[in-house]
Structure 1
Amino acid sequence: MKLLFVYNANSGKLNTLFDVGHKLFSPSSYKCSLCALTHDVFSENAIWKRFRDEGQFDMVFYHKDEFEIIFPKVKLLYPTILKLEKNQLTTVLNPEVLNDIPNVETLIGRLKSSI
């Protein structure tokens, strides 16, 4: 079983630069709640990094453009967290739920209770 995290952001250095600017100058309108939970402006959130490093779950991270190349027939709203098990994708946390999660600690708790 793997958890797939799909950010509502595209890959690439230019897109990363735009995302950093958006987080700095207009954080309330930033379109990726998952990004905002797991990353600070310039780096990965320390609490999130510690959780990832604990290795409780096998995790794979995608920008939406990367996910769409690997899974071209899967249509989703972003951001989202999926479970991949026996070649089946199921939703763990959808965009609506992720948008309502106030902090990384709550995200971690929701993940632990959902799996």
Structure 2
Amino acid sequence: MKKTLYFVYNTKSDIWNKYLDNLHKIISPTTYSCDLCSLTHGNFSEKKEWKSFRENSNYKFVFMYKDEFLRMYSCLEDKNFGFPIIFQKQGEKIDVLFDSKEISPLNSVEELIEFLKKKMS
């Protein structure tokens, strides 16, 4: 059974929040609240290194906004997770792979990829 990685961004899915997030990322990237998005995406698209890693991985990747994830997994709402966060799901079991405290110090998409490779091996 193929494992699934859920990448949950620290933002909401509505159009207004998406617009404000993109604007914030461009105007003041150092204060942007989603370290995961900053690692995997540039201002307008997915980073090439990340896309290549994702497409060549043996894992299934699912990307969600915080509100979408909490609606889908409402049983986890009381866990007080910090976002962004990465979960690993196999069958019905879902576990934290990396929390926001582990994601925050990463400085590049290459560091994220290496971090994931170590954790997934």
TM-score, structure 1 normalization: 0.94
CA apart distance, 1:60: 0.9
Are 1:87 and 2:92 counterparts? Answer: yes
5+ unaligned residues in a row in structure 1: which ranges? none
1:10 aligned counterpart, secondary structure: coil
Please name the residue that 2:64 is paired with: 62
TM-superposed CA distance for 1:56, in Å, is 2.4
Report the equivalent of 2:29.
Answer: 27
Counterpart for residue 118 of structure 2? 113
Q: State the 1:55 CA deviation.
A: 3.1
CA RMSD of aligned residues (A): 1.1
Deviations 1:82-113 (A, max 9, x none): 11113111111110010001100010111111
Aligned to 1:36: 38
Letter of the 2:25 counterpart: K
The separation in 2 between residues aligned to 1:22 and 1:48, in whole angstroms, is: 21
Give the counterpart letter for 1:5 in structure 2. Answer: F
Residue 80 (structure 1) shift:
0.4
Q: Give how far 1:13 is off.
A: 2.4
Match of 1:9 in 2: 11
Amino acid of the residue matched to residue 83 of structure 1?
Q
Q: What per-residue deviation string (whole Å, max 9, x for no partner) do you get for residues 1-37 of structure 1?
A: 2111100011132222111110111111101000000
The runs of at least 4 aligned residues of structure 1 exceeding 4 Å deviation read: none
How high is the sequence identity, in percent, across the aligned residues?
A: 35
Number of aligned pairs?
Answer: 115
What amino acid is the match of 1:65? D
Gap regions ≥5 residues in structure 2: none
